[in-house]
Structure 1
Amino acid sequence: MRKNIIFGFGLLWLYSLAFAQSGATAQQKIEAHSRRAHAYLEQKRPDLAIPEFQAILSLDPNNADAQGNLGVLLFFRGDYAAAVPHLRSAVHLQPGLWKIQALLGLAEARVNDAANSRADLEAAFPHLDESKFKNEVGRVLIDEDTASGDLEKAAAVVSSLLAIQPTDPALLYMSYRINSDLAGKAMITLALAAPHSAEMHQVMARELARHGEETAAIANYREAIQIDPRLPGLHTELGDLLFNSQEENNRQAAEAEFKAALAVNPDDGRAELMLGEIAARRGDLQAAYEHEMRAAALQPNSSDACTELAKTLLLMNDRAKAQQWLERAIQLDPTDYVAHYRLNTLYRQQGNIQAANHELEEYKKYKDMKEKLRKIFHDMRVETGDNQQKEADLPE
């Protein structure tokens, strides 16, 4: 009996030793395959690395490194269908692999798995840092959001990409197209939901004004005011249109609308700014200064408010404060050519010729750019109304 017990323990020891040796051997094999795979990657031989990662997964299917690397290699070989399960396993085994999840979304898009693609791209996109890859992922996501009719999400992705590449023509067109579609969608929905509302007349007025139909636009603004005289922003929009009108009677009526806007909303910075401009035109510099100071306080990120306040300060012979506001205006909007021109004059008066010449070059550059834009809008019969008052006191 004792011999049987000893023999039994001996077999158990032999079994456990064999198990330990086989486990160690498997781990050693995994490490050897991994070393060879990464050596092949350094040699830029993905064709040789792929079998090594496959061998690792035959020994350990839960190896996240091998799953991810194999998925990446298959993706860039163009075998998207084969790449998807490996990339998906890597993301499942190790959440937070955002580049891997983004590649998974791209692979899913290329095998027409739109639902999973969109979910993976949406999850990964905010976490991507490399601009070129983020751009590629974002464009696919925009296409998928647009195809599904989710224009709001598409617009958000475009805005994120434009923050990185603000002058990219393709992105700018996407932004224009998507936001135009959003505006059209909102207009149709509003027309169906509330065709006789003040808001519907306000939308009609804005569209008519954009296309130069001033009389019809004014009529729709007045109809909107009759329906709801306390609708925020309504009086200010009408005031802007009247202020920039070619008709003297309309221009004279603008002040009353800006005052009405402040009666509805005392924090309407645009209305304060326009009342300041009207006061400056009348030569009431103190009133202009007070309105424009309040406008600058209400809209601290408005370059227009800074520039207009600086103009009034110059008329009041306070050049030091005017310079501060002009420099602030350019910080907020480097394309504000009126601010560049006035800084050029101030620097020249101070004898700072180098700084003055720089501001003069900036003025010429941005003025030329905006003249070209103005011509484009004119050709499209779109009336912008921007910078009309600002230009009035500039030399030809």
Structure 2
Amino acid sequence: MERSDRYSPRAILESRSSHLNTCSRLVREKQGCSRCMSSLACSRPAVAWMVRGVCMTWYKKSPPGRTSANDQLLCAGAHIERKVKRLVVCASALASVLIATAGAQQPLPSLSAQASARSRAEAAMRAQDTPAAMREYRAILAADPRDSEAWTGLGVLLYGSGQAAEAVAALHHALELDPAAPHAALFLSLSEAQLRECDLALPALSSNFQALPAGKLQRLTGLTLLQCSLQIKDASAALQAAATLQQRYPDDADVLYESAELYTRMWSDAANTLMTKHPESYRVHELAGEVNEAQGNIGQAIREYRLALIENPKLPQLHYRVGQLLLKEGAPDADEKAMTEFRAELGDNPQSSVAALAMAEIDRHNGRLAEAASGYALAQRLEPGLVEAQTGMAETLLAQHKVDDAQAQLQKIITDHPENARAHYAMMLCYRAEAKLPEASREMAEFERLQRNTATMFQDRLHALLTGSSNAAPADVARP
């Protein structure tokens, strides 16, 4: 018999039963406990001690002279026999169970093999070798289908590979095995969103976006939440997600793009509703004017704005917009027509600093320097931080040959706003008026550099104050 067979449960039980039966026979044949115990010299110690204990117990219990030695032996033998029978019954039952289950028992997966496969999967993920990582996770699951961590890892990889349906199945397995499996619920919601099942995905996306620390995973969750909210037309949730994303990732290109998509979609929806429900409203004409202006259709934009003004002559900033578009058209009488619009704007809205500034610019360009100085002064009173009004005043002082006053004001502007190209150009004119040619050359070089590197000019600033658009025409800063 092989060594492994000798020490199997069945072999041990059969050996013990055989030795106890032999001992019982020897006692019944009146050969004494000494023979019985000596016959166990080569048997297992546990069996020998059990039989020895039975024999000694019966000898001690029998008082001298009351029971013969043969009776004692017979009695002991009978008790040993009963113990043997009980042991044989129990042993047979136990052996049957062990033998029956031994064949059906599945071998446990090797822990070291599983750990090695998991390490290889993690190494493959770090190396961005997705197919290799998937193979390792599938190998782990083939050995142990109840490994929730492996199901989660496989689901994450499937999601990242664009296999959203397979990812959903794998992540469902992970959550069935362990409802608290880390990241399983999050990537399940991301996969559902990829399948456009946003109703299912939104609750987990929202909770995880709030709970996750700032980083790539939170950013991904927030962007998906924004897209899903847009898909189901939940503007409030989309706006909240966009606001949080812009606060935490203000310079992120994807965040800015998705936010622009959101605002454009909302603008378009609101505009369509406006035109559907109020087709004759002056607001429809105003909106049409803005669209045409953005597209460069200047003449049509002016017509739409004037139609809006017919219905509501006191619309804020609309006269100013018409005046700016007239200047952009460049007709011979553009300055005069634009001045009329700016005056109307200032009359309807006495707090319009941009209207006062625009009038001062026209006056300065036409040589009406006293009127220009008054206009710039008014614009600065209405908006003290309006740097275009400060620069225009310095240029007016220079035109009045007040070079020192102009230079002092320009130096302050350049100190506070070093990227202001118009101020550098005016400073160059001051140095040239004083015959300081090296200084004038330096300022001209700086002006040209800023012209190349920035699209924010005087007209951009005026336009942005009203429309928020960055598509304004550049200012004519070289016009002294």
Structure 1 and Structure 2 fold alike (TM over 0.5): yes
215, 218, 221: which one aligns with 2:305: 221
- Identity between Structure 1 and Structure 2 (%): 19
Which residue number in structure 2 is paired with residue 157 of structure 1?
A: 242
What letter matches 1:229 in structure 2? P
Which residue number in structure 2 is paired with residue 129 of structure 1?
A: 214
Report the number of matched residues: 326
Q: Is 2:366 aligned against 1:312? A: no
Distance 2:175 2:444 in 1: 59
Q: Is the 8 A contact 1:101 1:120 kept in 2?
A: yes
Which residue number in structure 2 is paired with residue 270 of structure 1?
A: 354
Which residue number in structure 1 is paired with residue 380 of structure 2?
A: 293
3-state SS of paired residue (1:244): helix
What letter matches 1:130 in structure 2? G
Comparing 193-202 with 118-127, greater Cα deviation is found at: 118-127
Segments of structure 1 that go 5 or more residues without pairing to the other structure are 1-34, 53-57, 59-65, 371-382
3-state SS of paired residue (1:235): helix
What letter matches 2:479 in structure 1? D
Q: Is 2:476 aligned against 1:393? A: no
Which residue number in structure 1 is paired with residue 69 of structure 2?
A: none
Which residue number in structure 2 is paired with residue 374 of structure 1?
A: none
168, 187, 205: which one aligns with 1:81: 168
Which residue number in structure 2 is paired with residue 324 of structure 1?
A: 412
Distance 2:441 2:427 in 1: 11
Which residue number in structure 2 is paired with residue 204 of structure 1?
A: 288
Q: Is the 8 A contact 1:230 1:264 kept in 2?
A: yes
Q: Is 2:326 aligned against 1:242? A: yes
1:308-387 mapped onto 2 (5 Å cutoff): 308-316=389-397, 317-326=405-414, 328-329=416-417, 337-338=421-422, 360-366=448-454, 384-387=471-474
Residues 225, 83 of structure 1: alpha-carbon distance in 2 compared, 3 angstrom cutoff: same
TM-score, normalised on structure 1?
0.59
Distance 1:76 1:207 in 2: 45
Deviation digits for residues 207-245 of structure 1 (CA, Å, limit 9, x no counterpart): 333444444433332221221122223222223223333
1:13-92 mapped onto 2 (5 Å cutoff): 71=152, 74-76=155-157, 78=159, 80-81=167-168, 84=171
Instruction: Quote how far apart the aligned CAs of 1:349 are.
Output: 7.6
Distance 2:326 2:478 in 1: 17
1:98-113 mapped onto 2 (5 Å cutoff): 103=187, 105-110=189-194, 112-113=196-197
Deviation digits for residues 129-164 of structure 1 (CA, Å, limit 9, x no counterpart): 225x45533443343244334567379739828832
TM-score, normalised on structure 2?
0.50
Task: Compare relative contact order (CA 8 Å, sep 6+) and give the higher one, 1 or 2.
Answer: 1
Residues 43, 228 of structure 1: alpha-carbon distance in 2 compared, 3 angstrom cutoff: closer
Residues 233, 321 of structure 1: alpha-carbon distance in 2 compared, 3 angstrom cutoff: same
Q: Is the 8 A contact 2:425 2:478 kept in 1?
A: no
1:161-172 mapped onto 2 (5 Å cutoff): 163-165=250-252, 172=257
Residues 82, 220 of structure 1: alpha-carbon distance in 2 compared, 3 angstrom cutoff: closer
Deviation digits for residues 153-193 of structure 1 (CA, Å, limit 9, x no counterpart): 37973982883235x7x954x56655444443333211122
Distance 1:350 1:163 in 2: 42
Distance 1:156 1:342 in 2: 46
Residues 250, 190 of structure 1: alpha-carbon distance in 2 compared, 3 angstrom cutoff: farther
Distance 1:268 1:88 in 2: 62
3-state SS of paired residue (1:262): helix
173, 180, 184: which one aligns with 2:268: 184
Distance 1:86 1:263 in 2: 72
Distance 1:36 1:318 in 2: 78
Distance 1:287 1:88 in 2: 74
Q: Is the 8 A contact 1:242 1:254 kept in 2?
A: yes
Distance 1:355 1:177 in 2: 41
Deviation digits for residues 336-356 of structure 1 (CA, Å, limit 9, x no counterpart): 654565577789989599898
Q: Is the 8 A contact 1:155 1:175 kept in 2?
A: no
Instruction: Quote how far apart the aligned CAs of 1:106 are.
Output: 1.6
Residues 216, 74 of structure 1: alpha-carbon distance in 2 compared, 3 angstrom cutoff: closer
Q: Is the 8 A contact 2:376 2:390 kept in 1?
A: yes
Residues 185, 270 of structure 1: alpha-carbon distance in 2 compared, 3 angstrom cutoff: farther
Segments of structure 2 that go 5 or more residues without pairing to the other structure are 1-114, 126-132, 141-145, 160-165, 398-404, 458-469
Q: Is the 8 A contact 2:424 2:447 kept in 1?
A: yes
Residues 327, 72 of structure 1: alpha-carbon distance in 2 compared, 3 angstrom cutoff: farther
Residues 70, 337 of structure 1: alpha-carbon distance in 2 compared, 3 angstrom cutoff: farther
Deviation digits for residues 33-81 of structure 1 (CA, Å, limit 9, x no counterpart): xx999999987898999999xxxxx9xxxxxxx98x9856742465633
Which residue number in structure 1 is paired with residue 43 of structure 2?
A: none
3-state SS of paired residue (1:163): coil
What letter matches 1:286 in structure 2? A
* Superposition CA RMSD, Å: 5.2
Distance 1:354 1:134 in 2: 49
3-state SS of paired residue (1:195): coil
Residues 263, 306 of structure 1: alpha-carbon distance in 2 compared, 3 angstrom cutoff: same
Which residue number in structure 2 is paired with residue 62 of structure 1?
A: none
Q: Is the 8 A contact 1:72 1:103 kept in 2?
A: no
